[in-house]
Amino acid sequence: MKPTVITMLSMVLFINGQISGQNHKPHVIPSFNVLVETSALFQETTPSNSDGKRVIHVHINAPQQSDTVTCYANVLIYSLNHQSVLGPYRVLCGETLSVEIDNREWGVSITTNNSVLSSVWIDSQGFLNKLNCLPFQAKDDEFCKPD
């Protein structure tokens, strides 16, 4: 099972790089409002000092308002030690994907057919879920929306 997961992850990352023709330098986690035109990688750069549950969040937004095209991105979440792959998930623009992870270092692969703005962050305290907050501000939204 583990060799299959590692092979699958390697193929996805290799194909993403070949299709786009770009050399992907991973963005650090957390990153906010990163323009993704075809694909992008996000990775933690420091080990977690948390022993409890953590949640990785991936928020997808359209760079500009467009009603003619369905806006979405495909998201794959993987441990940097290549032992776990979660997804793929389809995230519509304006939505946030939240997935529980452990204290290993993690990465995120985002692919899309149209340009999107992506934000990726990890919440180790559950603080953002309690406040119903996003760590970035949308143009017309408040920073935090109380429950």
- The structural domains of the chain, ordered by start, are 2-131 (2.60.120.380)
How does pLDDT run across 65-122, given as a tens digit for each residue?
A: 666 578 999 999 999 999 999 999 999 999 999 999 999 999 999 999 989 999 999 9
pTM: 0.71
How does pLDDT run across 12-59, given as a tens digit for each residue?
A: 554 444 444 455 689 999 999 999 999 999 999 887 777 778 999 999
Question: Residue 122 and residue 99: Cα distance in Å, rounded?
Answer: 10
pLDDT at 144 over 60: no
